[in-house]
Amino acid sequence: MSEKDNTSRETSKEQAGPAEAAKAIVGKGVRVVLIVILLSLLWYLLSDRFTPHTSQARVQGYVVGIAPRAGGLVTDVWVKNNQAVEEGQALFQIDQSQYQIALEKARSDLETAYRQVEAGNATVQASRAKLLAVILGNPATWKEKLVASIAGRKAA
């Protein structure tokens, strides 16, 4: 019996040997996969803490809006990205052609206004001269002519 027992034990070991070896290999594989998962999770958590990265992020920080005092086409930029600048430093050049045209138009409008004022002053001087001529020419009727002149202007 002992031979039969030994033989049956050897046969069962031989049959159990490949099954146990397969279980051992699968167990090692499962452990390796679990270790890789844990390490990658640890790496993900730590790397996100120290160097966060996402394509849909919102950054909270000091944002300084830059706007020109006048709008227009930017022709030159005098600073580079992330360059430190000081208050009052010129950052870019705006196309001046539109502003030169607007300046010339304003000067032309001012000259036209001066001419209109001069024409108005000339009209006032002429009216004063006429009034003085009426007063000095016939002092008795100057009030009647003045009233008639004012009434004529109101009617018109």
**Residues 95-135 pLDDT 10s:** 888 889 999 999 999 999 999 999 999 999 988 888 777 77
pTM for this structure? 0.38
3-state class (DSSP) for residue 77? strand
Distance (Å) of CA 114 to CA 25, 74, 117: 102, 35, 5
**Residues 57-109 pLDDT 10s:** 666 666 677 776 777 888 899 999 888 888 888 888 888 888 899 999 999 99
DSSP β-bridge partners for residue 92: 77
Give me the half-sphere count of Cα atoms (radius 13 Å) on the Cβ side of residue 83: 11
